[in-house]
Amino acid sequence: MKKKFSFRKEYRAKTIFDIFNFIFFAIIMIAMIIPIWKVCMDSVSREVSSTDITFWPNVFTLEAYQIIFSKSTLWHPFWVSIYTTAIGTFLGLLISTIGAYILIQRDMPGVKIFSWLFMFTMIFNGGLVPTFLVIVDLGLYDTVWSIILTLGMNVYNLVLMRSFFEQLPVSLFEAAEIDGCSPFGIFIKIVLPLSKPALASIGLFFAVAYWSEYFHYVLYVTSQDSLNFQVKLRELVLTDEPIPEAKDAGLMSETMKNAAIIVNILPFAIIYPFCQKYFVTGITLGAVKE
């Protein structure tokens, strides 16, 4: 009888806890969805209020998107963001995977020293002014390579990738060595194919970092042709000037600002569902040591 009462008590407590979790996360979800929904509706509405929350456009219009996709001052920075994100993500994955593979070679002389030096840079760095001077001395100032190379070496992502590689069975490496496979062959034929979740998750980290980068562009890039979409988006958001391209005289600048924000987040909103299964597996793959 006591066991039955205890079971009912535990079941009731679990039910209350589940209900509380559901309500708590539902509130968080609503708090996240409402601002995004407002931006979406304001981007297709001719009459926009910056304070009121509209669940449906007052006067539906797609002219803001037509202006953005036809406006050269926004279209060119958009392509700059695309190719810097693509090149930077590839370079970042290349550096992280090769560096992580080298750091798991326990018999390599000095591997602990290199690991310690990498971890040291996560806590201390050269500082803003010395980094700027290095960029200038290397001739990278006012080029997109100052952004690509600066963000391409991310020690945090390298450490994550090393944790992923350490989860792979050692017997696979030993069997490949017995079959005469070189260390580079093991990396290409065994390590990389088994690391798709890690590559997807860390690749997404790199892609988001490159796509949303703003600070380094302000520091290292002065040419208008090399600025990315984020910088131009900020200029658009801060300006209240009239829109000369607008055919509709009532089209507000707030509509343009919201449409630009949607265009900015749209690429990753499309890409993420295809990478979700790898991303969810990747962020937990190196979390537990067995």
34 token code pair? 């409402």
Domains of the chain: 72-285 (1.10.3720.10)
Q: What is the pLDDT of residue 245?
A: 53
pLDDT at res. 210? 92
3-state secondary structure of 45: strand
Q: Which two tokens stand for residue 188?
A: 């290409």
Quickly list DSSP for 128-152: HHHHHHHHHHTT-TTSTHHHHHHHH
CB 111 within 8 A of CB 103: yes
**CB neighbour class for 44 (10 Å; exposed up to 12, middle 13-18, buried from 19):** buried
Residue 60, beta-bridge partner list: 45
Residues 184-241: pLDDT tens digits?
888 888 888 888 888 888 888 899 889 988 888 988 988 888 888 888 877 776 665 5
Report which DSSP code applies to 224: G
List, for residues 82-134, the tens digit of each pLDDT value.
889 999 999 999 999 998 888 888 777 877 888 888 888 878 877 888 888 98
- What single letter denotes the amino acid at residue 210? Y
List, for residues 34-58, the tens digit of each pLDDT value.
888 888 888 888 776 666 677 787 7
CB atoms within 10 A of CB 71: 17
Q: Cα 141 to the chain's mean position, in Å?
A: 24
Confidence (pLDDT) at 55: 75
